[in-house]
Structures are given as C-alpha cells and as structure tokens.
Amino acid sequence: MMINNAMKKCFFCLALLGFSISVSATGDVDKKDPYQMIKTVAEITFKRFADEQVAIRAEPNLLKTIVREELMPYINYQYAAYKVIGSNFKKTNQADRAEFVPAFREYLITAYAQVFTLYDNQKVEFAPAEDFAEHRVVSVDTSVIEPGRGPINISFRVRKHKKTGDWKAYDMVAEGVSLLDSKQAELSGLIRQKGLAHVTEMLKEKSAKSIVFKS
C-alpha cells in the first residue's frame, strides 16, 4: 500500500489511539473540547475493538466498518485531502477534486483498518489539557507506553471549524513524523506527473483491498 517506514510508524501510532477521533453515532463526545474529544473517542473505539475481537478475527474487513463508523466522523478528511494536493491545487479542477476527496477518505479507512491489526493492548497516556479558547489549531499530546521500549510521543493536530465551533483532527505527528506531510510527499509527485484523476483511481484500487492479519 505504498507505506514507507515513517508512514508505518505514523499509522501504527494512529491505530493505537484510534486516531483518537472517533466515536459511535450514539456516543457522547464533546466536540467543543479537542482534548476531551480525543480521550473519549479513544476509549470508545477500543472498547468496540475489544468487544468485537472474535468477529473481527473471523472477518477482518469488519475493521473497515469500525473505522468508517467510529473514526471518520471526527477526521477532517477533506481538509487533509486538500493539503495532500498542496501546490498542485491550482492545476486541478473542481470535478477531479470532488472525486479525489472521497477516494482519499476510503484509502485512509483501509490504511487505518489494516494497522488496527497491530493493536495489542498498549497503554496510552494523555498530556494535561491546555487553554485553547483563543486558538483555532491545537496539538493534543499523548504517549504510547509499551513494555520493553521507550514511550512513543504522539501529537494530534486538531482544527476548529470556523462556523460550527466543532473540532476535528487533520494530522498526527509521531516521533516528529507528520502523517499528512508523508502522504503529501508520497502523492504530490504523482499528482504533478500523472494528474489527480490518475491518483484517484490508484487510491480506489488500494481501498478495495481486504484487511489481512499477518502472522
């Protein structure tokens, strides 16, 4: 799935926290508080993951459903998709962008779902919340604790919607590696050389792949 070592670290850390931005439609998540939202969503996501472990082992693609239902409502994937297009934005047209955004969303769902297969009850610690009243973008710091190794420091970049006041995540930085920057570096050259429509079709093919538990 064209994921280098840096990306694997980001995706793995993302999976450990459920990208911290998810929750079931019936869950009670405070979208006005980015710190509380991330913590609550992580708890709900992994409870569902644990509750459905038997079914997931029988049908790994259930992980896609969990990510789609519990994760994506709290990710600003359109903003992230546009950031990935980056400097190529003016060379694209509205129709191609309209096709790319949902394809990028489905690609993220498949990528995140695959990395969820690596989860093994790691412990997550959340840094104390800071005052975010005057900010539109904040970084929510966390650490993943695993026996036998040092903590993995992870920061979630969360952005406030100007009209609704709701917060959604758009990027994650794991040990200094930005998930969004990595995706932009991976895809921007292809967008420039072969066009956005080509990359969209490529992502659709990758999104269709089944989730596999590797031994």
Domain CATH number, residue 103: 3.10.450.710
pLDDT in tens, 131-189: 999 999 999 888 878 778 788 788 889 999 999 999 999 988 877 888 888 889 989 99
Range of the domain at 59: 5-17+30-205
3-state secondary structure of 210: coil
Provide CB contacts within 8 A for 24, sequence distance 6+.
Answer: 44, 48, 69, 70
- Which residues make beta-bridge pairs with 154? 142, 174
Within a domain: 70: yes
pLDDT in tens, 15-45: 555 443 333 444 578 899 999 988 887 777 7
Is the pTM higher than 0.85? The answer reads: no
The structure tokens 């695959």 sit at 114
Number of domains in the chain: 1
Q: What is the DSSP string of 116-130?
A: GGG----EEEEPPP-
Distance CA 149, CA 108 (A): 28
Query: Does position 97 have pLDDT exceeding 60, yes or no?
Result: yes
Q: Computed from CA positions of residues 24, 38, 175, 138, in that sequence, does the dihedral angle turn out positive or negative?
A: positive
Within a domain: 167: yes
Within a domain: 22: no
Within a domain: 25: no
Within a domain: 151: yes
Within a domain: 213: no
Distance CA 9, CA 108 (A): 15
Given a contact cutoff of 8 angstroms between Cβ atoms, the answer to whether 7 and 174 are in contact is no
For helices 196-207 and 179-194, what crossing angle results, to 10°?
120
More confident: 23 or 190 = 190
Q: What angle do CA 191, 192, 196 make, to 5 degrees?
A: 30
C-alpha distances out from residue 170 to 20, 58, 105, 144, Å: 11, 32, 12, 20
Within a domain: 187: yes
Given a contact cutoff of 8 angstroms between Cβ atoms, the answer to whether 10 and 172 are in contact is yes
Within a domain: 99: yes
CA of residue 31 relative to chain centroid, distance: 17
